[in-house]
Amino acid sequence: MRKVWNQAKHEFGPIGLAYVLIAVSVWMLVMVVAPQLIMLDFSLHPLLFPDEIGGPKDVWTLQNYEILFSNRLHMIIFLKTIWSSLLVTVFALVICYPISYYIAKVARGASVGWLMVGLIIPYWINELLRLFAWQIILADSGILNQAMLWIGIISEPLNFRAGNGAVILGMAYAYVLFMVFPLYNALESLDRNQVDAARDLGASWFRIHRRIVIPHAKPGIAIGCIMTFMLGAGTIAAPQLLGSPSSFWFTELIYTNFETANWNLGAAYATILALLCLVFMAIMLAVFRVSLKELSR
């Protein structure tokens, strides 16, 4: 410890060291850790009237968490959130893997630049607007209904937004590109010669990907999946814009609790959401045997 301190003084000088230490500890302690602890604290207390706070009813309790397990509706919503985030993640992986591989290893010259621009534009456009685009497509008088009516598949416009489908479609569209860039980064460092060598040895297309390309892309796959799942499970924009009043999502549950000033239950559900993402991340890192460090590439 003493050695590190001396090294730090040596490296940064007194003013530099003060800057680094203050900036980082304000960030970590005041902006990240303390707020999380406060949120945890809220979640472990019951909802009380202001004059009851500090009184005999102000105790530590798990009752907010228990509500999730006792309320069937909430549980269904929670499971739906997990299920649809997984669905979106798998969908994103399936449709993004080929394009990432194509840009990283097949395409050459100027076309790489154009393909990248083609990915960056939709990626940079605000997520709300990306969801809005689907609002327009899926509206009762939207382009999809009109097209289907014109072809004659249906005779009455369908209400796409009644179920959960629209939200999942929107989620997929809004977050699919968070899979592309980690995958692309991982695949770009793959040595093309390896693939060529395998092809020379007569390995089939399927085998090359399974034995060489995918193992190499593992860190990218893991990080892409973690990001996509996290964004899917944590989105409030998608259900707000594309959901119907009859279908509720977990993030909306948290939001209504905040609107009705039941911060304690809201905090508990938020903590559960955070834990869910943490567990998913741990599973991905373990399954793909990668460490978080790969994120910096």
Partner 1 sequence: MISSKKVLKIITGSYLFLFFGYLFLPLIFMGIVAFNSSSLPQVSPWEGFTWHWFHELSQDSRMWDALTNSLIVGVSVVCISVPIGLAAALLLTRLQLKSRDLLYALFVSPILTPGIILGISTFLFWDRAFAVMGGLWTAIVAQSTFISAYCMLLIMSRIQRFDRTQEEAAFDLGASHQQVFFKVTLPFLKPALFSSVALAFMQSFENYNTTLFAIGFEQTLPIYIGTKLRQFISPAMNALAVIFIVLTILGALIYEYRRMMERRKEAERKKQAKALKKAMAVQPVPAMQGA
What residues from 142 to 161 belong to the interface with partner 1 (CB under 8 A)?
142-143, 146
The C-alpha atoms of residue 8 and residue 245 are separated, in whole angstroms, by 56
Q: Which of 16, 55, 163, 215 binds partner 1 (CB under 8 A)?
A: 16
Q: Which of 227, 253, 265, 290 binds partner 1 (CB under 8 A)?
A: 227
235 sits near partner 1 (criterion: CB under 8 A):
yes
For partner 1, which is the closer residue by CB, 75 or 136? 136
- Cβ proximity to partner 1, 164 vs 228, nearer residue: 228
Distance CA 261, CA 256 (A): 8
- Both tokens of 237, joined, read 């924009």
Site for partner 1, residues 22 to 61, rule: CB under 8 A: 23-24, 26-28, 31-32, 34-36, 38-39, 42
Residue number with CB closer to partner 1 (72 or 224): 224
Closest CA to 187 of 207, 215, 162: 215
**Token digits for 228?**
């996509």
Using CA of residue 248, residue 250, residue 255, residue 258, what is the dihedral sign?
A: positive
Write the secondary structure of 268-291 as one string of H (helix), E (strand) and C (coil).
HHHHHHHHHHHHHHHHHHHHHCCC
Interacting residues with partner 1 between 51 and 110 (CB under 8 A): 95, 98-99, 102, 106
Do 205 and 122 meet the contact criterion of CB atoms below 8 Å apart? no
> Judged by CB under 8 A, does residue 253 bind partner 1?
no
Q: Residue 133 interacts with partner 1 (CB under 8 A)?
A: yes
Residues 44 and 265: their CA atoms lie apart, in Å, by 9
Quote the least distance from Cβ 167 to partner 1, whole Å.
Answer: 14
**Residue 236 within binding range of partner 1, rule CB under 8 A:** yes
